[in-house]
Structure 1
Amino acid sequence: MRRCAFRVGVLALAAGTLLAQRRYTPGDVQDGQRLFLSNCAACHGVEGDAVPGVDLGRGKFRRAASDDDLTRIIQKGIDGTAMPPSNFTVFQAGTIVAYLRDMAAAAARGSRPAGDPGQGKMVFEGKGACTTCHRVKGSGARTGPELTDIGALRRAVEIEQSIVDPDAEVLPQNRYFRVVTKEGAAITGRLLNQDAFTVQLFDEKERLLSLAKSDLKEYAFLDKSAMPSYRGKLTPQELANLVSYLVSLKGVDKQ
C-alpha cells in the first residue's frame, strides 16, 4: 500500500513538473487568447491589469508562483474573492496560462516610448491616413475593420504588430477576398457571403456586389493582409501615440 501511494505521489509530482515546465506552442497561445478574451477580460481587462494588485500581462500575481498554481486558480477560483471557479479542463486552463506567459514575455521585450492618445488621433486622421480604410465612431471608411472598440478587443502589443507587420497575423474576419471575372477584371473586398451560385462582396469602393460564380474565372481568400505596413513610415513616438489612441478606443460612449 505504501509502495502504491509512493508511486502515485511520484506520478503526481512528475505531472506537476511537466505542467510547470511545459513549452507552449503558438496554437496553445492562440487558443488561450480566445478563452481569455471571451471569459476573463471582462474582469481582468484586455491587458490583464484591471484588478488592483494584479497585472496578468506582466506576470504579476498575488497567489500564483508557477503554472500549476495558475491552472488551479483558473479552474477552482479563489475562495472569498471575486475570482469564481470555472468549467475549464486542465488543458483549456493550460492554454490560458500559455497566453498569460506570452503576454508577459511580450511586455518584457517591449520598450516603446509612452504614447499620447490625443497626438495619436492626429496621426490616425493625418499622416497615417487610417480613415481612408477604417471607421471610428461613425467617421471614416468601411473597407477595413471597424476600430471603435479595438482597445477592448486587442492588446497594445498586438495592435502595434498589426501596424508594423500586418501579415504576421490576419484574423479570419479580416481576410480579403479576391475574384477575377471571365473578362479579366479583378475585384477585391470583404466577403459577406457565398453560396453554390453567387459571391457577395463589399469591395474597396464600398460597393455591395453580388457576382454569379458562373461569371468568375477564379475566387479565393488572399493570404496576406490588405493593410499596408507602417514600419519605417512613422517615428517611434508617432507609432507609440497611434497605439495609445487605438488602445483608448473601448466602444461608443453610452449617454
Structure 2
Amino acid sequence: MWRHRRRERARLSRSRNLNTQPKARPIRNLIAASSFLLSVGYLGAQSRYTPGEVADGHRLYLANCAGCHGPEGDAVPGVTFAHGGFRHASSDDDLVQIIRKGISDTAMPPGNFSPFQAKVIVAYVRSLAEVARADSTNGLASRGEVLFDGKGDCLDCHRIGNSGSRLGPDLTDIGSVRTAAGLERSILEPEAEVLPQNRLIRVIPKSGQPITGRLLNQDTFSVQLIDRDNKLLSVPRSGIKEVMFLESSIMPSYRDKFNMQELQDMVSYLVSLKGIKPQ
C-alpha cells in the first residue's frame, strides 16, 4: 500500500510539473531570442576588432587615406571619423564597400584594397571614435575663453563668429570637426600637422618686399590673399616673380606659455565651439 501511495504522489507531481513548466518556457525562450537578435543586430552594425587589426588598419590608413582625411580623420569638411557617424554607411560592411568602391558623385574614389585590407581600415576608423570617447579634459570652457581672448592672443590670427582675424583657420565650429586630443596637439605642436587649406603663401613681387598671407583665390590675372595685417590684397600676375606655399606654420607653440590647467581650459573652450559662440 505504501508503494502504491508513493507511486501516486510521484504521478501527481509529474502532472503538476507538466501543467506549470510550459507556461514559463515561452517567456524564457522569447527573452533569449530577443537578446540574441539584439546582439546580432549590434554586431552586424559594428564588429569587434583585435589590437592587431587596428594596428594593421592604422598603417594602411596612413599610407592611403590620411592624405585626404588627415591623420585623425577630420580633414574633410563635414566628415569626422571620431564622431562615429557616417552619412553613407550604417554598418561596417557598408564602410568596407565604400573603401573598396568609393562613393559616386563625390570626391571619395574607389580603393585598390582586398576585403581584408578594407576591413582592418574600418577597424582603425572605428578605433578613432573609441579614442575620442576616452578623451577627457578637466578644463573649464569659460576660463579657456578668457585665455583665448587674452593671454593666448588667438584672435590676432583666428576668427570666431564675427570676431577676430581671417589670417588663420576659422574656429567657429572647430569643436565639431576636431577631437580634444587633436586640438591639444595643435596647441603644443602646431608644426606637427598643417592641413593644405591652412598653409600660407608667400608672394615674391618683381619689385618690393615679399608678401606673406593666406590664399583666398588665384586666377590667370591675379593672386588674392589676406596678409598678416588682415588686409585683403590682390596682386597682379604681371608683377609677380614667384608664388610659393610655406610648409611651416606661423602659429607658435604654447607649450611654455600655458600651464597644464590653462591648456585644459583652452581645449575645453575649443571643444565647446560647435558653430555658435558660447554665451
* TM value normalised by structure 2: 0.62
Given that 2:144 and 2:269 are in contact with CA atoms closer than 8 Å, whether structure 1 keeps it comes out as: yes
Alpha-carbon offset, residue 220 of structure 1: 0.6
CA gap 1:101/1:186 in 2 versus in 1, 3 angstroms: same
Q: How do 1:135-214 residues align onto structure 2 when only pairs under 5 Å count?
A: 135-214=159-238
Quick one: which amino acid aligns to residue 155 of structure 1? T
Given that 2:54 and 2:127 are in contact with CA atoms closer than 8 Å, whether structure 1 keeps it comes out as: no
Task: Name the counterpart of 1:75.
Answer: 93
| 2:135 maps to 1:101 | no
- Report the 3-state secondary structure (helix = DSSP H, G, I; strand = E; otherwise coil) of the residue aligned with 2:73: helix
Task: Name the counterpart of 1:27.
Answer: 63
Larger radius of gyration: 2
Given that 1:176 and 1:190 are in contact with CA atoms closer than 8 Å, whether structure 2 keeps it comes out as: yes
Alpha-carbon offset, residue 187 of structure 1: 0.7
Alpha-carbon offset, residue 98 of structure 1: 2.0
Alpha-carbon offset, residue 234 of structure 1: 0.5
- Report the 3-state secondary structure (helix = DSSP H, G, I; strand = E; otherwise coil) of the residue aligned with 2:58: coil
Given that 1:36 and 1:96 are in contact with CA atoms closer than 8 Å, whether structure 2 keeps it comes out as: no
Deviations 1:121-144 (A, max 9, x none): 111011111111111121222221
CA gap 1:123/1:47 in 2 versus in 1, 3 angstroms: farther
Deviations 1:162-212 (A, max 9, x none): 111111111111110111212240111111122234211121222221112
Give me the CA root mean square deviation. 3.6
Quick one: which amino acid aligns to residue 232 of structure 1? D
Query: Greater share of helix residues, 1 or 2?
Result: 2
CA gap 1:251/1:20 in 2 versus in 1, 3 angstroms: closer
Tell which deviates more after alignment, 219-228 or 178-187: 178-187
Alignment length (residue pairs): 204
Quick one: which amino acid aligns to residue 22 of structure 1? D
Alpha-carbon offset, residue 28 of structure 1: 4.8
CA gap 1:116/1:179 in 2 versus in 1, 3 angstroms: same
Task: Name the counterpart of 1:215.
Answer: 239
CA gap 1:131/1:96 in 2 versus in 1, 3 angstroms: farther
Given that 1:179 and 1:219 are in contact with CA atoms closer than 8 Å, whether structure 2 keeps it comes out as: yes
Alpha-carbon offset, residue 93 of structure 1: 5.5
Alpha-carbon offset, residue 40 of structure 1: 6.7
- Cα distance in 2 between the residues matched to 1:208 and 1:151: 28
Alpha-carbon offset, residue 251 of structure 1: 0.5
Given that 1:116 and 1:240 are in contact with CA atoms closer than 8 Å, whether structure 2 keeps it comes out as: yes
Alpha-carbon offset, residue 87 of structure 1: 4.2
Alpha-carbon offset, residue 230 of structure 1: 0.9
Task: Name the counterpart of 1:5.
Answer: none
Deviations 1:104-156 (A, max 9, x none): 56887x7x851110111111011111111111121222221111100001111
Structure 1 alignment gaps of length 5 or more: 1-15, 51-70, 78-84
- Cα distance in 2 between the residues matched to 1:139 and 1:95: 40
